[in-house]
Amino acid sequence: MTKLSVNINKVATLRNARGGNNPDVTKVAMDCEAFGAEGITVHPRPDERHIRYADVYALRPLVKTEFNIEGYPSKEFVDLVLRVKPHQVTLVPDAPDQITSNAGWNTKENLSFLTELMDTFDEAGIRTSIFVGTDIEMIEYAAKTGADRVELYTEPYASLYPNSPEMAVKPFVEAAKVVRKLGLGLNAGHDLSLVNLKYFHENIPWVDEVSIGHALICDALYLGLKKTIEEYKNCLH
């Protein structure tokens, strides 16, 4: 079964716009779990413009499903992950001022850097995932780092889907087959939505986890959080 991990960064963005604690990030996370989400994802950035480091510490003892922390592996980020010890850490190659993740790692050029990180997290008992595109060589080098999983960057799929679903999903199917052949776990995320998630899952049903934030929170404004999570889970069944 493919798990749904809800990225709650946008909830924190809304809270931070006015200060205070409304909406309550921890309560929303607990509600997501109560409504059926199998995981919670956070992406703390250096400027803390949405999820703050304090949120990560507050969430850790409360999350009863899978807790996934994603981000660029700066020293501060690595220290945070090692202290919090989530179920999974997802490494993305984002610059500090980047609005959102928009590319996968060049795992070949960063092989030694990523391998050292995989060893560090593995020793701490934390499952590792590396954010990659569909380039087969990048996936092969991700495997060489010792990562447990890769997360396919799905924005290109989402962009092409309205015009040609078959062409949009084709490189992802090919990449996912390589991931499976290499013995890696498979995650996916970025711009997956109620529009395109079902088709993606039908073509790659062995995806372990999808991490969805922006589209899901936007849908929740109209459908409500409980109904929205139900609809996303329906896409995965």
Catalytic residue among 43, 50, 66, 201: 43
Beta strands in 58-105, from DSSP E residues, in sequence order: 66-71, 88-91
Distance CA(132)–CA(25), nearest Å, equals: 28
DSSP string, 149-217: EEEEE-HHHHHHTTT-HHHHHHHHHHHHHHHHHTT-EEEEESS--TTTHHHHHHH-TT--EEEE-HHHH
Is 87 a catalytic site residue?
Answer: no
Catalytic, out of 33, 38, 70, 209:
70
State yes or no: is 190 an active-site residue.
yes
Give the span between the Cα atoms of 76 and 87, in whole angstroms: 18
Of residues 38, 151, 190, 209, which has the active-site annotation? 190
Q: What is the distance between the alpha carbons of residues 81 and 79, in angstroms, rounded to a whole number?
A: 6
Report residue 48: phi and psi, to 5°.
50, 40
Of 127, 129, 81, the closest CA to residue 105 belongs to 129
Q: Which residues are catalytic?
A: 43, 70, 190
